[in-house]
Amino acid sequence: MLSNFGITFLSITFLTSFLLIYLSFNELKTANNKIPKKIYNFSSLQLIFTILSFLTLLAGFVVSDFSMSNVFENSHSTKPLLYKISGTWGSHEGSLLLWINILVLFSFLFLFYSNNNNKKFQLYTIIFQNFLIGTFLIFLLFNSNPFSLLFPVPNEGLGLNPILQDPALAIHPPLLYIGFVGSSIYFSAALAALISKVETKLFARVIKPWVSLSWFFQTLGILVGSVWAYYELGWGGFWFWDPVENSSLMPWLLMTALFHSVLVLERRLGLYSWVIILSILTFTMSVVGTFLVRSGILNSVHTFANDPSRGLFILTFLILMVFSSIFIFFKYSTTEKNTFKFLSKEFFILINNWFMVFFLLVVLIGTMYPIFLDTLFGTKISVGPPYYNFVLAPFLIPLLFLMTSGPKFNWISSESKKIFDLVFFISLFIFLAILFIVKEKNLIVNLTLIFSIYLTIQSLNDFYKAFKNKSINLSRVISHFGFGLLIFFISINHILSIEKNFNLKVGDEKNLSKFLIKFENIESYKIDNYQTIIGDFQILNKKNLIKKNLKPEIRIYDQPKTMTYEASIDSNFFSDTYLTMSNVSDSELFNIKLQIKPFMNFIWLSVFILSLGGVLNIFKRIKKV
């Protein structure tokens, strides 16, 4: 029943995108400068039907309609309601449907709210966007149909992967997808701008809010994903340089480069081709990311669903997309003369782009190189955190310094500014005070500390100035402030983290230099859809004599049969105490891992502050329009 509805809604959506392309092409020939009502109507209709198809799948999950194979494979009738709902986008098919919903939503929003009085540009954007919608719909209907039927109808479903049954992971995919798919609109707009030869300034104005919007959601999506990895995977880390994490970082780096260079395009009308290329690349990278995750050619902690035929489709689509973009670019792009004064604001934005693209290339090479090596020579290598830390960390230092100094310079002019000012000396004093406490000896870490403090203090200083005169770019100040804090707290966290591994029996005690750990008790019982084993530990801090009780868990799920290890985290304002336990096979011993992780909450908060700058940027635009 529901399945038929779903397929019908999807078919109507496909039909509307076909019609929208047809009507828009026809409209291009007329002299009239207004987009006709029927295009708006079809766009609304398209949005309504795609949302209906999504709601149909959602309903299937909520009522546990196991006649649909997707519900059967990813849900179970005893699962809590929240995870039945999030199960809708927990699978490949469901998340692809969500992906299409967002594509349609953005197409709709662009048509209705980005009124820029350039009909040709607007129509071409809708055409390209609907090409994307149509292609993904074909993929969905013929390869990954979430509404496929199953006969005979099973009584019970297989259940959702337990580590996905988590509130943070319920909202992580929607956030990330708004970021990923949001970039489609400036991909379409960039191609449209080339063909319709739109005025540079207008193009910059039109794409700017969309770049900020997708950047904001991408940042939040990455944040929620990291928070999830931190408490759910039970390793005490929050970023593993895992290929799947990398594929969410790559578009983010490009978006960051893009909204900096859009500023140059808007103010100086320079970098037009570069902005176009970045717009195209960002969405391409999003699709590359999807390809890497969905095709299963990666070995990652996050690969949950994969199938080679999907990979093949996405790869074919990717190749077509890249080649047609290249064709359009070279056919329509005009030569421009870009010149920049040394030490002008636009010069520093170029430097920003230089670093962002470098970071992107490092992540891209690190992610793809093992795949190429494996395919070409059959040699398997791993590229992990040591590689990224070694290559990237030294470049953070000049980046932080440039983020501090760049904004001080003016547009066009080449006037030099004082760089090592009072703020820098205050920062140095703060650094020395911190060094006195933490006694860090690594040069790179120390330099990173100095320059992250400098950026933070300088941003505070700018913030103070912003109150006195209104001319300062507040969203820049907030985002740079957040980034300074982020790097600062990550460094401090890196220096002060403690990790201890040991084996204990129930009733045993472990005496460490700063802590005394007692394994007091163990309990086991059945909850909802899993069996749990809970350890009871008491941790005594020998210095301040504070006692903490922590209860790490081992969970054994039956649908599907998996074991997960739940960390017990005591999070106070400044520091997290993180305890995990796991059974050692053939013995009554448990392997215990105690980690002290300072400033974790500050790391999350910094990313949140960083993202706020993006929101401010959107609102600023809306107010101006």
Residue ranges binding another protein (CB under 8 A): 233-237, 240, 242-243, 269-270, 299-303, 336-342, 347, 350-351, 354, 357-358, 361-362, 365-366, 369, 373, 377, 379-387, 390-391, 414, 420, 425, 428, 432, 435, 440-443, 446-447, 450, 499, 501, 565, 582-585, 591
CA distance 269 to 340: 12
Residue 574 CB contacts under 8 Å (≥ 6 apart), including other chains? 598, 599
Q: Residue 99 or 431: which CB sits closer to another protein?
A: 431
CB of 468 to another protein, least distance (A): 26
CB of 444 to another protein, least distance (A): 9
The angle formed by the CA atoms of residues 600, 565 and 579, to the nearest 5 degrees, is: 45
488, 432, 437: which is closest to 458 by C-alpha? 488
Secondary structure, 3-state, 24-80: HHHHHHCCCCCCCHHHHHHHHHHHHHHHHHHHHHHHHHHCCCCCEHHHHHHCCCCCC
CB of 250 to another protein, least distance (A): 14
CA distance 263 to 243: 31
CB of 615 to another protein, least distance (A): 30
Measured in whole angstroms, how far is the alpha carbon of residue 204 from the centre of its chain? 24
Cis amide leading into 152 (omega within 30):
yes
Q: Residue 377 or 467: which CB sits closer to another protein?
A: 377
Q: Residue 262 or 612: which CB sits closer to another protein?
A: 262
The contacts found for 519-523 with CB under 8 angstroms, 24 or more apart, are 519/590, 519/592
CB of 18 to another protein, least distance (A): 40
Q: Which DSSP state fits 441?
A: -
Q: Residue 336 or 528: which CB sits closer to another protein?
A: 336
Q: Residue 22 or 425: which CB sits closer to another protein?
A: 425
Is the CB of residue 38 less than 8 Å from the CB of residue 68? Answer: no
CA distances (Å), 281 to each of 111, 202, 255, 337, 582, in order? 23, 20, 9, 22, 44
Q: Which residue has the tokens 């398209």?
A: 46
Q: Residue 145 or 497: which CB sits closer to another protein?
A: 497
Q: Residue 90 or 146: which CB sits closer to another protein?
A: 90
280, 265, 250: which is closest to 188 by C-alpha? 280
CB of 234 to another protein, least distance (A): 8
Decide: helix, strand or coil at residue 462.
Answer: helix
CB of 555 to another protein, least distance (A): 13
Q: Residue 342 or 573: which CB sits closer to another protein?
A: 342
Q: Residue 471 or 585: which CB sits closer to another protein?
A: 585
Please tell me the number of Cα atoms within 13 Å of 575 on its side-chain side: 13
